[in-house]
C-alpha cells in the first residue's frame, strides 16, 4: 500500500511538469481537463467499489494530473505565450 501512495504523490510533480510543457495549450483545453477530472474520479470510485483497485489508482493518478492542469489553466502568469 505504501508503494501506491508514493506513486500517487508522484502525480503532483508529473502534473506540474506536463502543465509547464504544454503551457500554451492549457487555456484551450480547460473544458476537457474538467471533463477528465469528473470522468476519471467517477470511474475511480466505481472501480474501487467493484474491487478493481489497480484501475482506480490509475484513474486517481489521471485525476490529479488533470486537476493540476485545470488549476494552472486559470493562472495568467503560467499561460503566457512563449517566445
Instruction: Tell the residue number behind the cell numbers 484551450, with chain if given.
Output: 28
CB contact burial 16-50 (16+ within 10 A = b; e otherwise): beebeeebeebeebeeebeebbeebbebbeebeee
| Of 29, 39, 21, nearest in space to 71 by CA | 29
Where along the chain do its domains lie? Answer: 12-17+26-72
Q: Is the pTM of this model over 0.85?
A: yes
Distance CA 71, CA 12 (A): 12
For the stretch 18-68, pLDDT in tens is: 999 988 888 888 899 999 999 999 999 999 999 999 999 999 999 999 999
Amino acid at each position: 500500500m505504501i508503494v501506491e501512495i508514493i506513486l500517487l504523490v508522484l502525480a503532483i510533480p508529473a502534473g506540474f511538469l506536463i502543465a509547464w510543457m504544454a503551457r500554451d495549450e492549457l487555456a484551450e483545453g480547460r473544458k476537457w481537463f474538467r471533463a477528465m477530472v469528473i470522468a476519471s474520479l467517477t470511474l475511480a470510485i466505481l472501480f474501487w467499489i467493484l474491487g478493481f483497485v489497480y484501475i482506480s489508482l490509475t484513474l486517481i493518478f489521471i485525476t490529479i494530473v488533470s486537476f493540476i492542469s485545470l488549476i494552472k489553466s486559470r493562472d495568467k502568469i503560467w499561460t503566457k505565450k512563449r517566445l
